[in-house]
Amino acid sequence: MARRPEIQITKVAQFAGHKDSIYDFVLDADTRTMYSACAGGFVVKWDIDNPEEGAMILQSGEAFYSIAKVGNTLKVGSKSGVIYAVDLATNSLRDTTQLHQGGVFFIGNKYSGGEDGVLLRPKTIADGIGGNFNKNTMLLSADSLRCVIETDDSLFVGASDHTIYQLDKTTYEVKRKLMGHTNSVFALAMIDDNTLVSTGRDAMIRAWDLTIGKEIYAVPAHEYQAKSLSYNGSILLSSSMDKTIKLWSNELELLKVIDFEKYEGHTNCINKVQWLDENMFVSCSDDRSLYLWKVEIMP
């Protein structure tokens, strides 16, 4: 049996200033910049190497649920279904568009999804699809769409109806439904070309073999619902409402638990974790803070 590696965890920095729960952030590793969005309707720009220098670039009267960087534009999804577009050249609001009915939970380059169960995408793509869909929308589920991940040829969408939908990336045709979760699917990650992992309200991490479209193993991951996943090529991160971040091997062996007691971690639900590079990652929480962490594999 292989020896479990010794892992050292260091909390490198705290990004403080938000007054409400932080639901999402996006990282630009090339410029060492981070943008965070919170329930109070603020978006803050951070210099990752100077965490005390946060600057507000957008303010609204409603909660922000999701955020994405598309080229030189920051897209921010709100509770009401409006998507705000910020020009990053000037750090100013360019436009707002009512695209969904209810919260926007994820935004991609050419699509968005949320509480209304609709995967919205450009008309130029939608016009090429047969079936009974509207010209620029696709109702995937009667429940919310919660998360998405892209591969070379597919989109995988996790939903509150317990299903993971696999769509053709070009036509948006539903190719397959992966069913095994017993509640909402909140996060997805690829750990190799043929293996998808997922988690959600049932607090399980499930691994799927995409060559056969079947669940191949599952582990109880957290005490309460799991909120996010991120993979760096060797370690899978998960975060949870139980206030912990966990590190997992490719085989879903638990490697490390980051909590408040040992590492002065978060004190409330951890909504997202994301790798910045091979050994640094960021987390955000309902405790209104973001942390930068360093992971070292000891010899």
CA-CA-CA-CA dihedral for 262, 265, 268, 273, to nearest 10: -130
**Can you tell me which residue has the tokens 């095994």?**
180
- pLDDT range class, residue 298, cuts 50, 70, 90: confident
Spell out the residues 6+ positions from residue 102 whose beta carbon is closer than 8 angstroms to its own. 79, 80, 81, 114, 115, 116, 144
pLDDT 10s digits, 124-176: 333 433 444 353 568 899 999 999 999 999 999 999 999 999 999 988 899 99
* Spatial distance between the Cα atoms of 137 and 131, rounded to a whole number of angstroms: 12
Q: Report the predicted TM-score, pTM, of the whole model to 2 decimal places.
A: 0.93
Q: Using only the alpha carbons of the chain, give its radius of gyration.
A: 19
Query: How many CB atoms within 10 Å of residue 128?
Result: 10
Which of 216 and 4 is assigned the larger pLDDT? 216
**Collapsing DSSP states into helix, strand and coil, what is residue 295?**
strand
- All structural domains of the chain, each given as residue ranges with its CATH number in brackets, are 6-298 (2.130.10.10)
Amino acid in position 83:
I
Across residues 225-237, what is the average pLDDT?
98
* CA 134 from centroid of its chain's CA atoms: 27
Query: How many CB atoms within 10 Å of residue 279?
Result: 15
